[in-house]
């Protein structure tokens, strides 16, 4: 049984969030997204020449994304180097961005996306994807929509939004974690993973609660981008 959340949040409540764009002067686009104690920075370079050349596509751009955790982002110092987990997360973020960015408008080019997690308390792939989508918009890339991503799941008997690491590790009754990425205005899911076991009915409820959370994240993303572009037009 999990009747009250460790941090006293309601079951459908997100952790406190912060979002900003245009924070890295040397990148074409950048963003920071923080949700509770999970924080991600994203930098976008391009569209630029494809290197190595053989990866070039004549009819569209390619996205190359790399996710990394800073050594101090977790209690036990994250190991340096690109491990299987980093590889998997880089790939799922790339796949999601491929659905959001209009690649056909930038043939023969490459978009390099770098995401760094500075603090990790679960949900880093979702925070990274949320930041990466904002950074793509900040770079002025043509996009079908932003991606707003959040993990939801089931802790004990309770469907929960935006799990913490402490909740993910809940043993009594088990924990299921479902990272979900949405194109909110298109009502499309571009990321859906499942770590654990749930019934089909519960999965529907988890996606529904995730969608409500993503709508709030989307508002924050749009507000951050509006702030950035209105500041730019004033200067
Ligand atoms: O971060 P996310 O939930 O997307 O992916 P995960 O692989 O399920 O990792 C869950 C959490 O485990 C991370 O957010 C970190 O809080 C923690 N973790 C860690 O403490 N040390 C690592 N080397 C990797 C993850």
Nearest CA to ligand 1 atom 7: 85
Give the Cα separation of 136 and 82 in Å (integer): 23
Enumerate the domain spans of the chain.
Answer: 17-234
- What is the radius of gyration, based on Cα positions, of the chain? 18
Residue of 76 and 15 predicted with greater confidence: 15
Q: How confident is the model at residue 209 (pLDDT cuts 50, 70, 90)?
A: very high
Scan for tokens 């679960």, then name that residue: 122
Atom of ligand 1 nearest to the CA of 38: 14
Question: Best substitution site from 39, 67, 122 to test ligand 1's pocket, by max atoms within 8 Å of Cβ?
Answer: 122
Mean pLDDT of the 114-118 span: 98
pLDDT in tens, 159-181: 999 999 999 998 776 799 999 99
Residue of 172 and 51 predicted with greater confidence: 51
Nearest CA to ligand 1 atom 21: 74
Nearest CA to ligand 1 atom 17: 122
Residue 58: exposure state from Cβ atoms within 10 A (0-12, 13-18, ≥19): exposed
Annotation: CATH topology of 17-234:
Ribosomal Protein S5; domain 2 (3.30.230)
- Percentage of residues of the chain with pLDDT beyond 70: 98
Q: What is the pLDDT of residue 235?
A: 63
Give the Cα separation of 76 and 182 in Å (integer): 31
Pocket (CB within 6 angstroms of ligand 1) = 74, 78, 85, 120-125, 151, 165, 168, 179
Atom of ligand 1 nearest to the CA of 168: 10
Q: What is the pTM of this model?
A: 0.97
Mean pLDDT of the 97-113 span: 98
């Amino acid at each position: 049984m999990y009747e009250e959340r460790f941090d006293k949040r309601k079951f459908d409540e997100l952790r406190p969030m912060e979002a900003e764009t245009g924070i890295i002067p040397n990148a074409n686009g950048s963003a920071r997204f923080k949700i509770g104690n999970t924080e991600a920075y994203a930098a976008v370079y391009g569209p630029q020449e494809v290197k190595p050349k053989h990866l070039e596509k004549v009819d569209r751009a390619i996205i190359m994304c790399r996710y990394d955790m800073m050594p101090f982002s977790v209690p036990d110092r994250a190991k340096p180097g690109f491990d299987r987990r980093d590889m998997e997360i880089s790939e799922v973020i790339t796949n999601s961005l491929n659905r959001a960015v209009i690649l056909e408008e930038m043939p023969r080019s490459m978009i390099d996306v770098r995401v760094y997690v500075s603090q990790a308390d679960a949900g880093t792939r979702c925070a990274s994807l949320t930041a990466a989508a904002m950074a793509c918009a900040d770079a002025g890339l043509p996009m079908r929509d932003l991606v707003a991503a959040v993990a939801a799941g089931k802790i004990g008997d309770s469907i929960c939004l935006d799990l913490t690491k402490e909740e993910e590790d809940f043993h009594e009754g088990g924990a299921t974690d479902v990272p979900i990425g949405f194109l909110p205005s298109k009502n499309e899911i571009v990321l859906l993973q499942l770590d654990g076991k749930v019934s089909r009915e519960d999965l529907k409820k988890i996606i529904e609660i995730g969608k409500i959370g993503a709508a709030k994240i989307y508002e924050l993303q749009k507000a951050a981008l509006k702030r950035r572009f209105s500041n730019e037009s004033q200067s």
